[in-house]
Structure 1
Amino acid sequence: MTTPAVLNIASYLFTQIDDRENLQPLLRERAEAAGLRGSILLAPEGINMFLAGAPQPLRDFLDALRADDRFAALEAKESWSHIQPFRRLIVKLKNEIIRMNHPTIRPVAGRAPAVDAPTLRRWLDQGHDDAGKPVVMLDTRNAFEADYGSFDNAIDWRISKFTEFPDAVQAHKSELEGKTVVSFCTGGIRCEKAAILMHDMGLTNVLQLDGGILKYFEQEGGAHYSGECFVFDGREALAPDLSARSNERSARACDDGQLVQKKHRLQA
């Protein structure tokens, strides 16, 4: 088996962006020069990226972006593939980098409390948090994503799009009271908004899983997790060791571009 040569990154940051129209062509030019493919979404509330390419040019692209003070805190979750999982490069302007349709939820003004992967693993091992409260895992992803895999015994409200999440919280709020709720998603971006929303709705003991499932896989593997994690590119899903599905399946998905197109529909 040859060593995977394509670096894949998932990265986002909630930060105020007032010059999206100027930033869009600049980032497109830089990404094209680096030979990158994938997507870059720019909104007044921040940036969201799924990119793949040769390791050094991709890391240089991220370093250049971090040279801008607004993006200095940008982190990237890395994984590898044998093939380029994106068909093209897309740089889009959006109203939100992850759509919730709740303009009062502004992570750029302050994050909800978070729990890191090692701490969550310890809580799940012992069956409760450090205060002795039961820990409830809340999947904020869409139903088809959860079907690929999720944390054991996680709550899944079977939403079909993230804009349905606020109504789902309202309908099930009583089920979460008195427990330590850990909201999670693929890379952390939906958890940011979900946790703030739930705090605003009176659920004060809510945490977000810092870095989402991908960071948990990176640091803790598949402990307390069953299945794979759907990802928004041609690889389709990643195992807890961050390896992609078989090259044959990934190649078919990359060729037809269906999963990439689905990604942009989900983020529309």
Structure 2
Amino acid sequence: MPTAAILNISCYLFVSLQDTAALRERLHARADSLGLKGTVLIAEEGINLFLAGPADAVNAWVNELRADPRFAALTPKLSWSAAQPFRRLKVKVKPEIIRMNRPAVRPDQAPRAPALAPATLARWLGQGHDDDGREVVMLDTRNSFEVDFGAFDDAIDWRLHKFSDFPAALAAHRDELAGKTVVSYCTGGIRCEKAAMVLEAEGLTAWQLDGGILKYFEDTGGPHYHGGCFVFDERESLAPDLSPVE
């Protein structure tokens, strides 16, 4: 059992939801009753959340959410902290759980883009190519200030101001990616999942890093990555062992 008292979870799931307002009220009421803090975003395309609190309370909330068949596939990424990293609880209904401003890009209504397991990515980066001998390029889909905290070695960074800038940046740089195996990545997987769909639509060979940087840290310890991973709470950045960076 970790000595740190607070369990932090992050996860998302693209799933079609028609009862967003009622779902918002139910999830907020239960999280509040358990003393949890953080952010839960709900949209017709799914759910995206970052929550923290005592382990028993967090697990109770997640288990109740998973009891709804629509959320059975949720797989939270875990980390621990000595203190609560969020100041308040926010549960909101949004047009998108991650804003791209491309209404036609709906992962909840289309086959998922190929997902690359962290262990496979570590092996590819170690050997210098994918299993077909193609050059592998890492494409960072995060905002530029996040990239400055840490990134994969030699990753492509288009200095995005916000995620909705990604489609225009891709249009400007598409030809640079042709003929290569592109692995899109982000903090927890949600941005790179949408990005991989757009990359595929452009005819590129694209993968998403399954679970993002945090899952890569959890499964591999972070080889071929330098620095920390920015997180949107008071811890600010996590090291490859998922401890806060001092």
Q: Distance in 2 between the 1:191 and 1:111 partners?
A: 11
Counterpart contact for 2:228–2:245, Cα < 8 Å:
no
* Residue 200 (structure 1) shift: 1.0
Once the two structures are superposed, residues 173-215 of structure 1 have per-residue CA deviations (whole angstroms, 9 ceiling, x without a partner) of: 0110000000000000001100001111221x10000000000
Task: Tell me what 1:26 maps to.
Answer: 26
Q: Distance in 2 between matches of 1:35 and 1:7?
A: 12
Does the 8 A contact of 2:98 with 2:191 survive in 1? yes
- Residue 143 in structure 1 maps to residue 144 in structure 2: yes
**Aligned AA (1:153):** D
Match for residue 114 of structure 1?
Answer: 115
- Percentage identity across paired residues of the two chains: 61
Aligned partners of 1:97, 1:113: CA distance in 2, in Å? 20
**How far did 1:160 drift?**
0.4
Partner of 1:123: 124
- Paired letter, 1:180: T
Q: Show the counterpart of 2:193.
A: 192
Q: In the alignment, is residue 217 of structure 1 matched against residue 237 of structure 2?
A: no
Give the CA deviation at 1:106: 0.9
Distance in 2 (CA, whole Å) between partners of 1:224 and 1:77 is 20
Indicate the SS of the match to 1:10.
strand
1:54 has 2:54 as partner: yes
Per-residue CA distance 1:21-63 (angstroms, 9 max, x = gap): 1111110111011110001101000000000000011011001
Superposed displacement of residue 141, structure 1: 0.3
Cα deviations by residue, 1:107-146 (Å, 9 ceiling, x for unpaired)? 1122100110000000001000000001000000000000
Q: What's the TM-score, normalizing by structure 1? A: 0.90
Give the gaps of 5 or more residues in structure 1.
247-268
Matches of 2:169 and 2:106, distance apart in 1: 20
For 2:57 and 2:83, how far apart are their aligned partners in 1? 16
Identify the residue that residue 202 of structure 1 maps to in structure 2: 203
| 1:15 matched residue in structure 2 | 15
- Following superposition, which runs of at least 4 residues in structure 1 exceed 3 angstroms of deviation? none
Q: 1:240 is paired with a residue of what secondary structure?
A: coil
TM-score, normalised to structure 2, is: 0.98
CA distance in 1, matches of 2:46, 2:140: 23
Q: Structure 2: which 5+ runs fail to align? A: none
- One-letter identity of the residue aligned with 1:190: R
Structure 2 residue aligned with 1:245: 245
TM-superposed deviation, 1:245: 2.6
Q: Return the alpha-carbon distance in structure 1 between the equivalents of residues 101 and 33 of structure 2.
A: 35
Partner Cα separation in structure 1 for residue 173 and residue 232 of structure 2? 28
Query: In the aligned structure 1, how far is the partner of 2:40 from the partner of 2:211?
Result: 18
Report if the CA contact (8 A) 2:24-2:93 is conserved: yes
* Distance in 2, Cα, partners of 1:10 & 1:232: 10
**What is the rounded CA distance, in whole Å, between the counterparts of 1:85 and 1:245 in structure 2?**
13
Structure 1 counterpart of 2:121, one-letter code: L
Report deviation, 1:234: 0.7
Higher helix proportion: 1
Partner of 2:83: 83
Q: How many angstroms does 1:237 deviate by?
A: 0.2
CA drift at 1:81? 0.4
1:234 and 2:222 equivalent?
Answer: no
Q: CA RMSD in A?
A: 0.8
